[in-house]
Chain A
Amino acid sequence: MIGGLFIYNHKGEVLISRVYRDDIGKTWNPSYTSPPSPSHWNHMRNAVDAFRVNVIHARQQVRSPVTNIARTSFFHVKRSNIWLAAVTKQNVNAAMVFEFLYKMCDVMTAYFGKISEENIKNNFVLIYELLDEILDFGYPQNSETGALKTFITQQGIKGQTKEEQSQITSQVTGQIGWRREGIKYRRNELFLDVLESVNLLMSPQGQVLSAHVSGRVVMKSYLSGMPECKFGMNDKIVIDKQGKGGASDDAGKSGKQSIAIDDCTFHQCVRLSKFDSERSISFIPPDGEYELMRYRTTKDIILPFRVIPLVREVGRTKLEVKVVIKSNFKPSLLAQKIEVRIPTPLNTSGVQVICMKGKAKYKASENAIVWKIKRMAGMKESQISAEIELLPTNDKKKWARPPISMNFEVPFAPSGLKVRYLKVFESKLNYSDHDVIKWVRYIGRSGIYETRC
């Protein structure tokens, strides 16, 4: 299991260190000048230093997120310029360690916002307290922020009654560790966001090399009591099943609009065995905002934009670039925040751009022409042309021609996913499914949306 956890700033100074096991101290780093002292504390410092010297201060770019130095394994993730490193000498579950480090970041963000050196220094006592709770002897424990916030507060626990205490402990260890009892709202309300990012890699000839949508259903629930929820969407498997039952006459109609989901994963509140057997998504939601599910589709994706590049080399010192973008969705809808990024060679000396719509600028520091359009309706077309002057070089290496990338936001789900229902049942309290106010919103964003040129 995890032997210790360290947080460093960008200089490699330790901000937080928590050692769970003695064995990790035995890491001996040859560049460390004084011999290892027998004391526990010094042991730990060797592991700390080994990571700093070999990873943070390493001359070369990090080649792996897992490093083995003198038989000690270091797992690291980086958030802005903060390094989180977990250390072990055993054959631990590597996936678990990384999941834990991400979780740790989530928990810290939930408690004090952005993970920065200043925030960590200001909250170091809290972080130690959290670490003590969520990682015991290197075993990750309940790390749901909802549950943690009930008993790890920055104010200290004051005046808990016995009932409150036992409620805390049963929640932390219980089957529904993500929600506490006795939540009350005057207005029962829930928000569902279907957030999709559409990824594309297209060849210069317009052939789709790979395309997939990775989507998330994020839910904000403000519901009283312990509501039992059931979520339905136009999943092909479910709808085909209903179609076979032959009950409703809209089965054929909706069957057309159903989508094939390649795979999906759920928040731990969802009963997975029920999904496996009946493909129904039922759960008791956490309070507040959380991610209900993630999914991935690869079939029948609506690609909101098509990019048509044309690059011509005119002699050795000039490039002519023409890029056309076409929007491919209902004319009544508006895409926003459109940005096309056209890479330019390193030896660019000057650029002239003409575009029909929006604004385009050559950004020398980013080696790219950035073309921004605020809004664009569906079934439209726009064009940019640029002349790029090049400095003559004797560099033999050819310019790698990175792909043209695109960013945008559209008000529909490119996968075609539709929420069919979200039913809420709470038998103990007197509100029913139609008393709940429900909001659904679809946002499609560009993921890695690239066209090679």
Chain B
Amino acid sequence: MMNDSLFSLVCAGEIFELKAELNSDKKEKKKEAVKKVIASMTVGKDVSALFPDVVNCMQTDNLELKKLVYLYLMNYAKSQPDMAIMAVNTFVKDCEDPNPLIRALAVRTMGCIRVDKITEYLCEPLRKCLKDEDPYVRKTAAVCVAKLHDINAQLVEDQGFLDTLKDLISDSNPMVVANAVAALSEIAESHPNSNLLDLNPQTINKLLTALNECTEWGQIFILDCLANYTPRDDRESQSICERVTPRLSHANSAVVLSAVKVLMKFMEMLPKDLDYYGTLLKKLAPPLVTLLSAEPELQYVALRNINLIVQRRPEILKHEMKVFFVKYNDPIYVKLEKLDIMIRLASQANIAQVLAELKEYATEVDVDFVRKAVRAIGRCAIKVEQSAERCVSTLLDLIQTKVNYVVQEAIVVIKDIFRKYPNKYESVIATLCENLDSLDEPEARAAMIWIVGEYAERIDNADELLESFLEGFHDESTQVQLQLLTAIVKLFLKKPTETQELVQQVLSLATQDSDNPDLRDRGYIYWRLLSTDPVAAKEVVLAEKPLISEETDLIEPTLLEELICHIGTLASVYHKPPSAFVEGSRGVQHKRLPGSAGSGESVESPDTGSAAGVSEAPPAVIPSQGDLLGDLLNLDLTPPTTTGPPPPSSGMQMGAMDLLGGGLDSLMGAGFGAPPAAMPASFTAPVSGGLDDLFDLGGGVGMPMGAYSPPKTVWLPAMKAKGLEISGTFARRAGVIQMEMTLTNKAMSVMTDFAIQFNRNSFGLAPAGPLQVLTPLSPNQSIEVTLPLNTVGPVMKMEPLNNLQVTDVHIYLYHKSHYYLHSRQVFLATWKDIPNDNESQFQIKDCHLNSDAASNKLQGSNIFTIAKRTVEGQDMLYQSMKLTNGIWVLAELRVQAGNPNYTISLKCRAPEVSQCVFQSYEAVLKN
């Protein structure tokens, strides 16, 4: 009755009416009026005109009315800052009130009024409240510091509130400690380099004590904060784990997940042979399973996290397959996640059960779920060899149901099974061919065409089948067109006599009637291959394909490590690093697991750790070169996230930034954590000449002695690093890539404890050993350091690796098997295959070498000349090189006798590297 009218008030006349009521003498009437105002505010009506009248009601001893007025103030103060000042006096007075509830209310509300003028008045009351005798006021004041910091960070620092906040960590009341920790953690997040949360064994001990006593929420704050600490050694790590494990029995799932996070992280530091390590692993499973009986939303969060945990430590849940079986009434998001985990846990021991389940799911209603279930059956076949036969027959049963999307999904996975187990299940091809007509999705059509092409010799009417697809060639999607082209060429190579006409037809369709450059280029390559050298064509087109890997959809290891550090949070739900969805400086910091940062004392590398005790070898992911190139391209051109901020610059500059800038100098940036020197998170330094020594042709090719290595450049000026200057270069000595650095202490004090950490970079560079700086560096002293590097580090690759895609990669494969391109034809073909957009031209000036000398010199730096041609007095050198990360670069160097200026054209799948390659050329030739 009354409240319906509260919510339905609109017209302007009523504002006037309210005004009168607000100024009424009767308390009850006033209160009702304020309630009405709040109600209209909630539904989005503008009642800001009533500001002075509402503020007038503030002076009251009725706590309920006071709270209402405060609520109004919080919402409108910002739009009426001048009027909001009117309220300040009451606030300040309330902060002195004998009732602790009122003191807390005042300081809490004041912090929510985000008006600069008011903030100034807040400082004094806040300072008092931080030292209030009542814990309720102190815990409220602690949060208020975080509020104030959000409005005016400088003010908080100047007023010394941060120190007071730090003192509160030692408060006698657990809730005050918890709120202080929460506030400090958040403030520290926006100051990645400040040593705000100075976690040392003493504070950790205090936190662990408070952990036993505070509310469930406080426990979450404390555990999340603990997770940021890096214990000094395995003993400390174990003792913290021991004190955290009781939390696994807490009723609050968030407490449990945060405890799991701490344990997963600190476990990295424990020796694997320790009894306690095994005990801990066993203790982790039951609470994770219990999370699955929580409400569906929490189940979803838990499942997303379990997905990460299973990838990192499969041994924890390997016996718990049954709990991930899908229930009929589970919400769809829970079903899909469970399915994912089932596949990850599938092993020889439980495969029969899993398959029986998956077969059930394939008859469900939800289309997405059914598709995923069918795909899962295929993945089981690929993962557990013993089950492959059963999986295939299950898939065949499903195909018999003739449900359109089931059939299509099944064909897509069967294609993958063929790739994994060649010459084993081809007997089913006949059944597949029966369903040709029902395929309407490009992926399924492409898969089917691939199958027909690949097994053309066993399918009697392969030519008819492919011909039927060819009729609607122009209406097909690119994926299907490319497959069709390749399939027909394969068919022709296998049955040349009957299919001459067909191949002619498809080649002309692809090359003459198509607007798609990829299709055209591929058409031309085939055409030329077929017309010049059919034997080579056969070798290329019918080359043996590498086996696809068993594990699929794995999260790239460095990302996984980072996500493990974020268990329980949104990042672990999205499976994306926080920087992908958080704006500003928050969350940009990348967290890493301890022990994996290349510190000398890490017990064992985490990769071997995860494999310990599991029968399977660590998941071997063999990205085919095509995928890698593709991913590198995708990755370096777009930020790792779908919604990332636009890159700072564009064009060539950006390419250089990403490959060298992003890869190498940010590797320097966050890398040098010399304790007194806190580094700025990112800075750009000129690292231009580093590339040529990264060329990987070490194996078998002798290294000429005088190989060029660029002079050292200053990577990090002393100004930016509190006195530490770093200059360095990359060189290849005796076939090993090394980073040579000169560290100079330009500060006044002694520096010790140097460590280096490499960020993920496009070349997969990682230190091969720890940084050896034994002596402390006294002021003005310099030291030369050489750090051997290897290229087995993680290549920065953000998308989950998906190697089940069958791409026609034989062109790239050809490169791989011959190591460098020595055949002119292949060079030409590749040159043509790379889109013209990727070509870039540069001038090298003042170079007084003839073409032969240049060729020799370049060979010293692993750039090989494949062919030489002389046209009208110009020497054309055709050269190829391969970067350590597998990117091929082709170059055409034009040298005119007597002209010191060379012209160089570079073509590469990843055009961003061109600029760097050019600079390397210039450096090598002029040296």
Contacts and interface: CB of A to CB of B under 8 A. Distances in A.
B254 A166 contact: no
B293 A95 contact: no
Interface stretch (B106-114, B375-383, B710-718): B106-114
A264 B587 contact: no
B298 A400 contact: no
A263 B295 contact: no
B574 interface: yes
Nearest to A37: B79
B139 to A, nearest CB: 6
Given A14-B44, A266-B250, A136 B140 contact: yes
Interface of chain B: mostly helix, strand, loop or mixed: helix
B761 interface: no
Interface string B834-847: 00000000000000
A287 B107 CA distance: 31
Interface string B169-183: 000011110010011
B44 A400 contact: no
Contacts of B38: 124-125, 128
B569 A121 contact: no
A65 B673 CA distance: 40
Interface in A129-146: 129, 132, 136-137, 139-144
B655 interface: no
Nearest to B42: A17
A294 interface: yes
A262 B289 contact: yes
B108 A173 contact: no
Interface stretch (A85-93, A315-323, A407-415, A426-434): A85-93
Contacts of B573: 66, 94
B252 interface: yes
B219 to A, nearest CB: 8
A272 B99 contact: no
B43 interface: yes
Interface in A28-77: 39-41, 45, 48, 61-66, 68, 70-71, 73, 75-77
Given A91-B569, A93-B568, A265-B290, A142 B143 contact: no
Contact of A170 (B135, B297, B353): B135
B898 to A, nearest CB: 60
Interface string B298-338: 10111000000000000000000011010111001100000
A273 interface: yes
B783 interface: no
A165 B100 CA distance: 7
A141 B287 CA distance: 25
Interface in A114-133: 121-122, 124-125, 128-129, 132
Nearest to A398: B401
Given A93-B569, A156-B62, A264 B42 contact: no
A452 interface: yes
B286 to A, nearest CB: 3
Contacts of A228: none
A102 B832 CA distance: 61
Interface residues of B, number: 118
A65 B296 contact: yes
Contacts of B224: 93
A208 B175 CA distance: 47
Interface in A250-276: 262-268, 271-273, 275-276
A436 interface: no
Contact of B100 (A19, A143, A166): A166
A294 B292 CA distance: 13
Interface string B531-572: 000000000000000000000000000000000001011111
A376 B363 CA distance: 35
Contact of B249 (A68, A91, A272): A272
B51 interface: no
Interface in B574-631: 574, 578, 581-583, 586-587
B286 A90 contact: no
A134 B247 CA distance: 22
A272 B287 contact: no
Contact of A41 (B79, B186, B296, B300): B79
A41 B301 contact: no
A175 interface: yes
B64 A210 contact: no
Contacts of B297: 65, 75-77, 98, 101
B245 interface: yes
Contacts of A141: 139, 175, 179, 215, 217
Contacts of A125: 35, 38, 64, 68
A263 B212 contact: no
Interface string B353-389: 1001100100111000000000000000000000000
B100 to A, nearest CB: 5
Nearest to A160: B99
Give the one of A71, A94, A272, A275 with max B CB within 10 A: A94
A172 interface: yes
B101 interface: yes
A226 B71 CA distance: 37
Contact of B213 (A19, A160, A170, A175): A175
The 3 closest A-B pairs by CB, nearest first: A263-B286, A169-B136, A95-B254
7 contacts: A65-B300, A66-B300, A93-B220, A129-B64, A139-B183, A271-B212, A272-B247
Interface of A: 1, 13-17, 19-23, 39-41, 45, 48, 61-66, 68, 70-71, 73, 75-77, 88-96, 98-102, 121-122, 124-125, 128-129, 132, 136-137, 139-144, 151, 156-157, 160, 162, 165-166, 168-170, 172-175, 177, 201, 203, 209-210, 212, 214, 262-268, 271-273, 275-276, 291, 293-294, 296, 396-398, 400-403, 405, 448, 450, 452
Interface of B: 3-4, 6-7, 35, 38-39, 41-44, 46, 48, 62-64, 67-68, 71, 75-76, 78-79, 98-101, 104, 108, 111-112, 114, 134-137, 139-140, 143-144, 146-147, 150, 173-176, 179, 182-183, 186, 212-217, 220-221, 224, 243, 245-247, 249-254, 256-258, 286-287, 289-290, 293, 295-298, 300-302, 322-323, 325, 327-329, 332-333, 353, 356-357, 360, 363-365, 401-403, 566, 568-574, 578, 581-583, 586-587, 643
